[in-house]
Structure formats: structure tokens, C-alpha cells
Structure 1
Amino acid sequence: MNQTTLTRRPALVAAVGYVCLHVAVVVVGAVATGGDTGTLVAAGFSSLAYYLLITAFGVVLLTATVPSLPRGWWVAGGTLAAALVAVRYAFGTAAGVLTVGSLFALVFLPYVVAAGVVVRLLVTRVGGERLRGLPGHPLTRRGLFVAGLLLVATVGGSVLAVATAPAAVPPSDWSADRQLEYLERTDQRDRETGAMADRSRDYRRADRVLSLLAAGRADDPEQWLDAAVVLQHGTCPEHFEVAHRLALAANDSTAVEATDWVHLTYDRWQLSMGQPQRYGTQTGTQPVDAECHPPVPAELDPAAPLESVA
């Protein structure tokens, strides 16, 4: 691709580059870890690298289109981007919507961009005179500007959330109740701000919870519920079974109301084994019989996780 193509068609070059780099990240990640998904999860590489790549793609789109737009578009775009990023830290529900949007971009954007490249090339090659002018049309440039802005504000917002998030796990010398409260709070906050883009944070939280349970240090209903909330973001049936049994134990007490968590953890547990859910709390798909990352300690029985503290 020569210098003229790079100058005249920066968005096309960015799209082709994004798709190629996405494929490269997938291949390099698989080769570097020998296909061990646990290593990817523990390092946070499997997800965070894709977020960074999408953010960079959005920045390139903005850089390519901003010079051709009136100043009003710059101001409005910058204001909107700042507002979308700020929403993550101020409004939980709206922040959750942005996080879901980031996840959709993570999954579907490579296919959308690849399809766009194919259509762009077809229009250039076989389209009529009017169609050939579409890539340079002002509406096309504005559309690319908006797309880049949304990618930077939503997906890039998740990257910013990771960079500014508090530590995933607290100091190990804290009391068990204080640790579990902290772990539950950061787990839920990550879902709002988008810091869940770094999967290693979930890994470290689950590992700490499993260690506390195996040591018999979770000994009251509030601690059990905190542990359940963290483990229901695990990776395997054993994680979800432990989460469900902890939520059940907490709900059976008079100290906390955990019915919703009982339903949610049960459905997630069943789906992870390829069974139908009962309460309809889950959407989308979930891996069946996946490996546990982190592994469940040998001394912890998923069917009776509180046995050691009974």
C-alpha cells in the first residue's frame, strides 16, 4: 500500500490494519500460551489487548476525519466523549449500558470492519460513478467521525477505567470480613466503570476468595454473600457451584436477603454444565464445562464450601 493510498484513504488503511492486527493478536496470544486459556485470563491479555486495539482504531478514525469537519463537530464530539466517560463514574445503570456496548464492540467489531472493507473495495471496483464518490462524501466522513468517537468514548473509557481502578485485591493481612467486602465492592464497581476489561482482576479476586474459603476464614452470612458475588464471575461450573451454595447459606440466615443471588448463581451454574436455567436470569451464551481459572483448592469441596467453618 503506497503513500498515496495512505494519504487519500486513511480510514480504509486503518480498517485493514485493524483487522490484520486483530488476527495477529489472536494468533500470537494462542501461540505464546500454547492454547492455555488460564494463562491468558490470569494475565488479562485475552481481553485488554483487544480493547487497546479498538481504542487505537477509534483514534485513527478521528484523526483521519476531524480535519475535514467544522469546528462545531470537534467541540460537540469532545463534549460528548467527556460526558460518556464521566457517566461511568456517576450513574451505575448508564455505566452498565456503556460497558455492555464495549463488550459488543469487542465481539462484533472485527466482523463489521472486515465487511466494511469488502464493501468499500467492491464499490470502488464495480460501483457506478455515483457510488465511487461515497467514500469521500461529507456524510461518510461524519459517520466515520461519530463511529470513532463512540469507540474511543466507550471502549477507550473501559481502558481508562482499568488504568484508574483501585487494586483488585486488598492487602492479605486485612481481616477476612474486610477483605471480602472490598473484593465484592471492586467486583461490582468494575462492572459499572468497565474495568472488567482486564480479566486478570476477576482472576485475582476469585483466587483470594477461594483461598479465604479454603482457610475457613469466611464465617458469617454477609461474608458468604460477598464471596458468592465474586465467584459468580468465575470461569467454570465449580466456581458457580461454590457461589450458589454460599448464596443459599447466606439466604437461609436471617442476616441477609440473597434470593436474587441464589437464582442468578443457580442459573449460571446450570448453564455452565450445559443444563437449562430455571429462573431466566442469564442471557447470551456461556462456555460449557470450562476449566477453572483459578483452580479450586483441593481442600475446598464445591458441594460443601462451608464445611471447614461449620
Structure 2
Amino acid sequence: METDNVSRNLEYAYNTDQNDRKEIKSFIDYFSKLEERDSIRLRQIKNYYHQGKISNPKDKFHAAFIFHHSDNSKDYKIASELAEEAANSDKLKNEYTVQWLKKASYDRYMVSIGKPEKYGTQNNFSIDFN
């Protein structure tokens, strides 16, 4: 869904990103279209970013989440910057998920460039079925 309303499009991208990650089949290679869908969302959000259309704190949070799910340091750095700006805003300073993203995106960026985490958010998660 794409409209002329950037805020609405960013919110939609965020919601579909989160919904995709709630589907277990998203993590089973045979069924997964997660990478393809992430790529589409990231392309759209990068266009808004490079056009300077991401300005309010909630939009920055939504965009940061999409950049955070990229696969490279440059995008992680952008995610970290956007998330920090959103987290430091009066409007979102008490929102848990916004504050978590500020930390997680910073840690993800640091790990991606070979530096240590600051907040310890990038621990590996695994499930043992034995």
C-alpha cells in the first residue's frame, strides 16, 4: 500500500515489517519471502530518507526499524541516528520500544563494524529442540 501520505506509508511499512516477523514461516527458507519484502520496504524508506521526507519523531522511529532490518553497516548507522532522534524527542521519550530501538540499532551498527556493543542487545537467540 502506498499513498501520498509519507507518515501513513512509514507506519504501514513498520506494521508489515513487524507482522512478517510474527509469522514462523518467515523464518523457514522454503516459505519465506521475508528478504524480498524487507528489500521492498527498505527501497521505499530509503527514497523518503534521501528526499528528506522523514522529519517527525514517529516517522523517524518507523523508518529506523526498517533500516535496522537491513543487512549492512551503512543502513544500521542511519537506523541508529534516526532511532536516537526519535528516542530523544519529548513525544517518544517514554516509549519503551523506541528506547529499545535506539539501543539495539546502535549496538547492531557497532557490531557490524567490529566494535563492542554498548547495551548488550545483540545477544544471539537460539532454540534447542533436544
TM range, smaller chain: 0.7 to 0.9
1:298 alignment partner in structure 2: none
Whichever residue aligns with residue 180 of structure 1, its letter is L
Matching of residue 227 in structure 1 with residue 63 in structure 2: yes
Matching of residue 281 in structure 1 with residue 111 in structure 2: no
Gaps in structure 1 of 5+ consecutive residues: 1-169, 286-310
Matches within 5 A, 1:44-193: 170-171=1-2, 173-193=3-23
2:108 alignment partner in structure 1: 268
Matching of residue 238 in structure 1 with residue 78 in structure 2: no
* Bigger shift: residues 257-266 or 240-249: 257-266
Gaps in structure 2 of 5+ consecutive residues: 126-130
User: How high is the sequence identity, in percent, across the aligned residues?
Assistant: 29
Pick aligned residue for 1:209 from 34, 40, 45:
45
Write the distance in 1 (CA, Å) between the matches of 2:124 and 2:55: 34
Shift of 1:229: 0.8
Write the distance in 1 (CA, Å) between the matches of 2:113 and 2:20: 26
Cα deviations by residue, 1:87-128 (Å, 9 ceiling, x for unpaired): xxxxxxxxxxxxxxxxxxxxxxxxxxxxxxxxxxxxxxxxxx
* RMSD after superposition: 1.5
Shift of 1:216: 1.3
Shift of 1:283: 2.3
Whichever residue aligns with residue 272 of structure 1, its letter is S
Write the distance in 2 (CA, Å) between the matches of 1:281 and 1:174: 35
Shift of 1:252: 1.2
Stretches (4+) displaced over 2 A: 194-197
- The number of residues matched between the two structures is 115
Cα deviations by residue, 1:115-156 (Å, 9 ceiling, x for unpaired): xxxxxxxxxxxxxxxxxxxxxxxxxxxxxxxxxxxxxxxxxx
Cα deviations by residue, 1:59-98 (Å, 9 ceiling, x for unpaired): xxxxxxxxxxxxxxxxxxxxxxxxxxxxxxxxxxxxxxxx
SS at match of 1:267: helix
Matching of residue 250 in structure 1 with residue 90 in structure 2: no
2:128 alignment partner in structure 1: none
Write the distance in 2 (CA, Å) between the matches of 1:250 and 1:264: 14
Write the distance in 1 (CA, Å) between the matches of 2:14 and 2:123: 22
Pick aligned residue for 2:54 from 207, 210, 218:
218
